[in-house]
Amino acid sequence: MSQTERAGARTAGIVAIVGGALLAVASFLPWAEVSGQGASVTANGIDGSDGYITLGAGIFAVLVGVVMLMRGARRILAVLAILAGIVGGGLGLYDAVTAKDSVLDAAAEELAPSFGVSQDRVRSALDQAVDAGQIGVSVSFGLYLVIVGGIVVVVGGILGLRDSAPENVAATPGAVPAGPSSPETVVSPPPPPPGPDDA
């Protein structure tokens, strides 16, 4: 591996580690906030199953980045980093788009037993409160950090894919290195030795 390839692999590994760390840390941060009547409640990423998925994706990306630093960029490692970034960042983006519905669904599920009514009725009441401005649902910075972390991991994977070491054909056993082209030389076989009749 050349010095340039080694430097590129190091950069790719560091970027993947940073992105994975962002994904993992952001999984513990607030993802959404529900406010109303002077009070507010925040929901962290690990309060739901999605937070554990982004946490796993972040840890996996960090491990891939460490292997890149130790063994150099490889195509399979770069692809794995890209997949981890897509899973973590894509899930964060999906949750950011559907944050309102997810938070209200979770609140309705939690409040329904307390009021002794169905979850659908509680959800309907919450929707009315949101429409009336009595309750507000907003996306918190932790979810945006998840998206950024996923993007950074994907960038690290792309860098690793670009700087992955090519296969060294000359080092393969049995491979013949290509030499300079030259015109083909035809060698005639030696003449047969003289027989007794030719003497």
Chain-centroid distance of CA 175 in Å reads 37
Average pLDDT, the chain: 80
Question: Quick check: is 32 in a domain?
Answer: yes
Count the domains in the chain: 1
What's the pTM value of the predicted model, to 2 decimals? 0.71
CB neighbours of residue 124 within 10 Å: 13
Closest CA to 98 of 158, 63, 139: 139
Residue 27: what pLDDT? 94
Question: Quick check: is 98 in a domain?
Answer: yes
Residue 180 pLDDT > 90, yes or no? no
Residue 26: what pLDDT? 95
Residues in the chain: 199
Task: Quote the Cα angle for 125-131-137, to 5°.
Answer: 90
DSSP run (H or E) holding 30: strand 30-36
Query: What is the arrangement of strands in the sheet containing 136-139, beginning at the earlier edge strand?
Result: 39-44, 30-36, 136-139
For the residues 194-198, what does the mean pLDDT come to?
A: 58
**Tokens of residue 176, six digits:** 């013949």
Residue 56, domain extent: 3-167
d(CA 47, CA 109): 14
Question: Quick check: is 181 in a domain?
Answer: no
**Tokens of residue 100, six digits:** 């309102």
**pLDDT top residue among 34 and 23:** 23
Could you read off the pLDDT of 87-129 as tens digits, one per residue? 999 999 998 888 878 777 777 777 778 778 888 888 888 888 8
Q: Which range in 48-62, 108-122, 170-184 is most confidently predicted, on average pLDDT?
A: 48-62
CB hemisphere CA count around 65 (13 angstroms) = 28
Question: Quick check: is 199 in a domain?
Answer: no
DSSP labels, 77-144: HHHHHHHHHHHHHHHHHHHHHTHHHHHHHHHHHHHHHHHTS-HHHHHHHHHHHHHTTSSEEEE-HHHH
Amino acid (one-letter) located at 83: L
**pLDDT top residue among 106 and 84:** 84
- CATH number, domain at 33? 1.20.140
Amino acid (one-letter) located at 144: Y
% the chain with pLDDT above 70: 77
Residue 86: what pLDDT? 97
Question: Quick check: is 41 in a domain?
Answer: yes
Residue 117: what pLDDT? 80
**pLDDT top residue among 11 and 100:** 11
Residue 170: what pLDDT? 41
Residue 130: what pLDDT? 82
